[in-house]
Amino acid sequence: MASCRAWNLRVLVAVVCGLLTGIILGLGIWRIVIRIQRGKSTSSSSTPTEFCRNGGTWENGRCICTEEWKGLRCTIANFCENSTYMGFTFARIPVGRYGPSLQTCGKDTPNAGNPMAVRLCSLSLYGEIELQKVTIGNCNENLETLEKQVKDVTAPLNNISSEVQILTSDANKLTAENITSATRVVGQIFNTSRNASPEAKKVAIVTVSQLLDASEDAFQRVAATANDDALTTLIEQMETYSLSLGNQSVVEPNIAIQSANFSSENAVGPSNVRFSVQKGASSSLVSSSTFIHTNVDGLNPDAQTELQVLLNMTKNYTKTCGFVVYQNDKLFQSKTFTAKSDFSQKIISSKTDENEQDQSASVDMVFSPKYNQKEFQLYSYACVYWNLSAKDWDTYGCQKDKGTDGFLRCRCNHTTNFAVLMTFRKDYQYPKSLDILSNVGCALSVTGLALTVIFQIVTRKVRKTSVTWVLVNLCISMLIFNLLFVFGIENSNKNLQTSDGDINNIDFDNNDIPRTDTINIPNPMCTAIAALLHYFLLVTFTWNALSAAQLYYLLIRTMKPLPRHFILFISLIGWGVPAIVVAITVGVIYSQNGNNPQWELDYRQEKICWLAIPEPNGVIKSPLLWSFIVPVTIILISNVVMFITISIKVLWKNNQNLTSTKKVSSMKKIVSTLSVAVVFGITWILAYLMLVNDDSIRIVFSYIFCLFNTTQGLQIFILYTVRTKVFQSEASKVLMLLSSIGRRKSLPSVTRPRLRVKMYNFLRSLPTLHERFRLLETSPSTEEITLSESDNAKESI
């Protein structure tokens, strides 16, 4: 009856421990995903996020507001409230925008799903926010039908322009086909031969601004699939239109066009014209942000200047010049330059009314680099213009101009669409060197693992047994991993990090077009070390699993011998399976991103030479998840299950033949349990406990994890080497020899034998096991474990 109760208690303990382990591992994986998603969105700014209200962000010393708010702290409303007019309901509309109605066209109409009407929110002459009248669309028309209609020279361009503007009001729904059709319709409206009204053209500018809100992917598909020059034609027509506004301007959130007409001044035109765009509270363009000054001496940027262009006209018969500012570069789809960041890349166009063959104006420009200075450093830039024939950026006639005012300066000997292609290097916060605890723990582990391997190999004849194969392989893999971790985990690029993104450090003689706007200095050595760390840590966990499997066969399934060629079989698994996992991981990543010179960062981190942390939307595809976290979690769960089984059925099972005292028996059970836990890698479960939100608790678990796992090699040395009779016998001889030499010099000869006897008795009294730990080795001759051998293994624990 007592044995039945003890058995039920052991089963209950096993079930509880298993459930707790599964819960801890499950919560750990869940916390990894949550911390990855939250960590990417955490602001690194030292300014409290509460300072900028209503979604505003603190950048470069000021709040950048959303379109709906303005002011120092983004607390002043810049929108029209929800409204209902003529049976149509409109949500909140930012100033300067057309808001689509919530009512959409029916499913049985060609324009199904699109808004039935739009309404403009604008500022009055007195600066008050007001709603304009509703413009109702035609549900029987869509962009494809309007594209066909506009080809007719008698088509009503005013109506078509309004319809296109309504159909493009919801930029999130625009596809590549929609953009292509809308661009062709707008191109016909701006065609000088069609003589469209100024009102139709102004509405078409609204359409262009709305198109620039469409996704970058949609524009890339337009550039890849379009059979004509719709985008190029539109760019040319914007330049031509900029000469026709007199001294007026048309400003929309994503495009601003302004003209300067000098025909009424004198017979001789001005020598210099300066066009400026000022910084705003948000990223949108507003009517009060653009200025034109004539007959100026040169550029004159200030702290509020975002970009400035100076037209130097050597011939004085120029009567008109025009400027166009694009909020982004979506119309300029380059084949050589790829923008990966979300920084605003403004494009500026300047044009005069001179003949194309007689263009003599040169251009000086300054750009204020707008980027997150907390996370990025300006690495370089290139002064370029849009080559309409090549449909790509070009540097012909353009060069960098060095300045000392923090602006990027360019000079070109012609007029057209200009841009500054900036490249940034992420300002990585490289971690500090390993702390004292990690260094000391790894040093002790490396020493202990090396001594354990040497002891297992050298003393195999003295111990009259073969090398404990699983233990030796576990120690070798762990030893190599610790060495790589100590000497290779830090990225050598850490020493190349500059203190700031000083513009004066840029090479002004090099004006080559970059391939991308973000760069990382390649480091193949760091990638190789990351792959080796990945491999040897997987090897370590694999040998942990093989240790557990072998011990389970020896102690639980005692009637069944180990398979034939067991040593060869587990060796192929222990060293081969991790190699396959790492090779497949690197191969898949390289095959998907090999054309990208920065493909390494899809596999490893830049801060340290270890597997890359996935993006919030790429956790499922992350190499860290599938090639490390998942296999390690499976191994830990299986090891914990076997550890609990072995502990209950073998280590803590009552032995009727036990002759030692209860105190010694309990101590041996504890030591045996610790010995098994170490080679099973159970302490790695503490890594999941480091994911708690509480900083104080996380720090405690971090130190505990570091203490247990950096000294794992030392624990193996103590439990599997120091505690053996062979090691203690040899150590006692050495200590006795050293003691005798020391005592010979300081004590009389009469006391030497007595001291040697005391030292010998002290060393003999240390708790010890048999001469070897039979649980982790097989028979060298038959590679089979018989029932009698397994019984001996149980007794040796």
**Which pLDDT band, with edges at 50, 70 and 90, does 56 fall under?**
confident
In a domain, 583, yes or no: yes
Across 475-491, average pLDDT: 89
pLDDT digits (tens, 9 = 90+) for 302-334: 888 889 999 887 656 677 889 999 999 999 999
Helix (H, G, I), strand (E, B) or coil at 313: coil
Position 205 pLDDT exceeds 60: yes
- Weakest-pLDDT range from 20-34, 61-75, 237-251: 20-34
Q: Are residues 525 and 613 in the same domain?
A: yes
Residue 6 banded pLDDT, cuts 50, 70, 90: very low
Widest pairwise Cα distance in the chain: 128
Instruction: Tell me what pLDDT residue 227 has.
Output: 57
Average pLDDT score over residue span 128-151: 92
Domain assignment present for 356: yes
> Rounded distance, CA 398 to CA 309, Å?
14
Query: What contacts 24+ positions apart, CB below 8 Å, involve 692-695?
Result: 692/31
Q: What's the rounded Cα separation, in Å, for the pair 393 and 334?
A: 7
pLDDT-based confidence at residue 788 (cuts at 50, 70, 90): very low
Note whether 238 and 327 are within 8 A (CB).
no
Question: How high does pLDDT run on average in the chain?
Answer: 78
Q: What is the pLDDT of residue 370?
A: 75
Residue 394 lies in a domain: yes
Same domain as 540, residue 400? no
Reading the block at residue 286, the tokens are: 């507003």
In a domain, 312, yes or no: yes
Domain co-membership, 397 together with 436: no
Q: How many domains does the chain have?
A: 2
pLDDT at 769: 36
Do 376 and 307 belong to one domain? yes
Confidence of residue 341 (pLDDT cuts 50, 70, 90): confident
- Residue 137 pLDDT > 80: yes
What confidence tens digit (pLDDT) does each residue in 700-730 have? 766 777 777 777 788 888 877 887 788 888 7
Q: Which of 427, 443, 469 is the last residue of a domain?
A: 427
In a domain, 630, yes or no: yes
296: left (phi over 0), alpha (psi -120 to 50) or beta: beta
- pLDDT for position 247: 85
Q: Is residue 22 part of a domain?
A: no
Q: Any idea which residue has 């599964």 for tokens? A: 22
Confidence of residue 677 (pLDDT cuts 50, 70, 90): confident
Tens of pLDDT, residue by residue over 525-584, are 999 999 999 999 999 999 988 888 888 777 766 556 666 777 888 899 999 999 999 999
My answer on whether 334 and 483 are in the same domain is: no
Confidence band (pLDDT; 50, 70, 90) for 250?
Answer: very high
Q: 257-266, pLDDT tens digit by residue?
A: 999 887 655 5
Same domain, 331 and 461: no
Instruction: Give the pLDDT mean for 360-380.
Output: 81
Chain CA centroid to CA 249, Å: 42
Is the entire prediction scored with pTM above 0.75?
no
Is the pLDDT assigned to residue 783 strictly greater than 50?
no
Q: What pLDDT is recorded for position 669?
A: 66
Q: What is the pLDDT of residue 503?
A: 66
Q: Are residues 374 and 410 in the same domain?
A: yes
CATH, residue 337? 2.60.220
Q: Rounded mean pLDDT of 365-386? A: 84
What pLDDT is attached to residue 549? 84
Domain boundary, last residue among 387, 406, 427: 427
Nearest Cα neighbor of 245 from 168, 149, 322, 311 is: 322
Query: Of the candidates 670, 702, 726, which is a domain's last residue?
Result: 726
For residue range 763-774, list pLDDT tens digits in order: 444 444 333 333
Measured CA to CA, the distance from residue 122 to residue 434 in angstroms comes to: 58
Q: 630 and 567 in one domain? A: yes
Q: Per-residue pLDDT tens for 614-636?
A: 666 666 777 888 888 889 889 98
CATH number at residue 458: 1.20.1070.10
Query: Both 398 and 482 in a single domain?
Result: no
Q: Which has more confidence, 720 or 147?
A: 147
Quick one: pLDDT band at residue 755, thresholds 50, 70, 90?
very low
Tell me, yes or no, whether 695 lies in a domain: no
| Whether residue 390 sits in one domain with residue 350 | yes
Residue 11 has pLDDT above 70, yes or no: no
Q: Measured in Å, how far apart are the chain's first and last C-alpha atoms?
A: 27
Rounded Cα distance, 682 and 548, in Å: 11
Give percent of the chain above pLDDT 70: 74
Of 177-191, 219-233, 659-673, which range is least confident? 659-673
Residue 689: predicted pLDDT: 64
Q: Which is more confidently placed, 399 or 738?
A: 399
Asked if residue 534 and residue 488 are part of one domain, the reply reads yes
**Up-side HSE of residue 250: CA atoms within 13 Å toward CB?**
24
Out of 44-58, 194-208, 223-237, 571-585, which region has the weakest mean confidence (pLDDT)? 44-58
Structure confidence by residue, pLDDT tens digits, 415-425: 889 999 988 88
The boundaries of the domain holding residue 314 are 248-427
In this structure, what are the phi and psi dihedrals at residue 454, rounded to the nearest 5 degrees? -60, -45
* SS3 state of residue 202: helix
Looking at residue 790, what is its pLDDT? 43
Same domain? For 555 and 609 the reply is yes
Domain assignment present for residue 275? The answer is: yes
Amino acid at 650: V
Percent pLDDT > 90 in the chain is 28
* 406 vs 102, more confident: 102
